[in-house]
Structure 1
Amino acid sequence: MSEPVFVAFATQKGGAGKSTLTALTASYLHYIEGIDVMVMDCDDRQHSFKDYRDNDFLVTNENPYLKRAVMNFYRNFGKKAYEIILTNPGDAVGVALDRLEEGVSPQVVFFDITGTVNDLSIVKLLSRMDYLFVPITTDTADMKSSIRFASHVVNNMLTTGKTKIKGVNLVWNRIPSKSKTRLCDMIDGYVEELGLQSLDTVLSNSSRFFKDGATTGRNGLFRSTMMPPDKRLLKGSNLPELVAEIRKIINV
């Protein structure tokens, strides 16, 4: 069994969609494409992934429609939900390696990391990733922060030769359309001059990305750590295209 690929969606600034993108990508890979994944929830200040899983248990236990959907899915899926491990940035890699020694064999390990480069433990954790994907939005402050973060990683980490990082890619998130806007194209041209690049696929500013169920009703799940995205919501989301592009980059 080859070593798993370490992947993180990371930015300097909070609120750019790191945890949501991690959940969507991990669940699509695991539940739709059959790629075994594990998630390290390294944000010990709030543990967003624990909150996601807790919410999944709540809504699927209390909503009869979702409860039946979960039972039907796992009857055919043949595997368990992917593991989410709570840790802190300093211990995250060691804890992940310990799980591998215990016989767990994910193909991809996602690290959900709080956004800062002013903490040495987080810098060291970032340096242990194989690939970083940096969410970028059209909000001016978010955009500047994401570009600054990606530039810092490339110029101060990749160039030293003391990191595992093989690639850093920007991911356009929460934009007003399903394809790149003129502003996105302009910024892409600018970041290329900085030695950066963005993925071709974009994710629009759609409410579907926050649909994580309710205790009543027959609405499907889109963001879930226990289920694949509902097919009705998946159409036109660009999530399959995004995952395909990521898979090509990380080679799984």
Structure 2
Amino acid sequence: MNNKPLFIAFSTQKGGVGKSAMTILAASILHFRMGYNVAVFDCDYPQLSISKLRERDVKSTLENERFKRLAYEQFTQLDKKAYPVIPCRAEEAIQTAGEFMKNSSVDYDMLFFDMPGTVNSSGILQTLSRMDYVFSPIVADRLVLESTLPFMNVLTDVLVKSGNTNIQGIYLFWNMVDRREKSELYAHYEQIIRELGLNLMQTSIPDSKRFRKELTAEAENRLIFRSTIFPADKRLMKSSRLDDFITELLQIIKK
């Protein structure tokens, strides 16, 4: 390894707000489409949803001629394999990542860590403190915000401001945005976020059923969206705002 890769975590205090889906989509776009080398550490034990998705992706690809052809064409064009997905417990993630890099011949640009939906353990806090950047999806739900905002405020005040961390930035972003909800609702919450001194990304991700659709052998003609083997189809990128999100993320981490 010539340079230490950036450690990036998608983390939140509540499950079900899309952190695993965003980890997959970001990693796949960056690795397969934008030329970066990434690896994903699935720390959401015992669910390990990303690891299980990789298993289903491989099975679906082997069972579907179109997907097999696409995988071959992608490998031939990029001359790179699918990014590794490494399952591990959150409190062991840094050690696991260190061993992984020591034994790898690839120069990785970014290591993504999908953290558990609840991060109350001191071991998990220690792991988060070793991240370079933390991105936290939030939704306009009082229970989600009442747990996530205070926790992110603690991370900022206790870890970042004390200097006892590697964290260079913590960023919230709106996910699963329902266009029918009143803008005043978001304005109210954003005022609270500003008062807490927390960073909020400009890009918000709309609510869409496509975020819950994955690769299946039966989906012969479906456009690919959430997959660990392929990037999201370009035709679906714009309306999902993923292109804007990835651009903003790269600006934040200066890549």
Shift of 1:248: 0.8
How many residues align structurally? Answer: 252
Quote the Cα distance in structure 2 between the aligned partners of 1:235 and 1:134.
21
Q: Secondary structure at the match of 1:169?
A: strand
Quote the RMSD (CA, aligned, Å). Answer: 1.8
What does residue 247 of structure 2 align with?
A: 244
Alignment gaps of 5+ in structure 2: none
Alignment gaps of 5+ in structure 1: none
Quote the Cα distance in structure 2 between the aligned partners of 1:56 and 1:179.
34
Contact 1:16 1:137 in 2 (8 A): yes
Shift of 1:180: 9.8
Q: For the structure 1 residues 72 and 181, does the alpha-carbon distance in structure 2 shift closer, same or farther, using more than 3 Å as the test?
A: farther
1:218 aligns with 2:212: no
**Where in structure 2 are the equivalents of 1:184-195 lying within 5 Å?**
184-195=186-197
Q: Secondary structure at the match of 2:50?
A: helix
Q: Deviations over 1:165-208 (max 9, x none)?
A: 11111010001139993322332222111010210001111011
Quote the Cα distance in structure 2 between the aligned partners of 1:187 and 1:107.
34
What does residue 70 of structure 2 align with?
A: 69
Q: Deviations over 1:61-98 (max 9, x none)?
A: 22233222222222212111111111112221112112
Contact 1:213 1:220 in 2 (8 A): no
What does residue 93 of structure 2 align with?
A: 92
Quote the Cα distance in structure 1 between the aligned partners of 2:177 and 2:162.
34
What does residue 200 of structure 1 align with?
A: 202
What does residue 141 of structure 1 align with?
A: 143
User: Could you tell me the percent identity over the aligned residues?
Assistant: 37
Shift of 1:133: 0.6
Contact 1:178 1:204 in 2 (8 A): no
Contact 2:9 2:112 in 1 (8 A): yes
TM-score (norm 2): 0.93
Q: Secondary structure at the match of 1:15?
A: coil
Q: Secondary structure at the match of 2:41?
A: strand
TM-score (norm 1): 0.94
Quote the Cα distance in structure 1 between the aligned partners of 2:236 and 2:201.
22
Q: For the structure 1 residues 19 and 228, does the alpha-carbon distance in structure 2 shift closer, same or farther, using more than 3 Å as the test?
A: same
Quote the Cα distance in structure 2 between the aligned partners of 1:28 and 1:177.
25
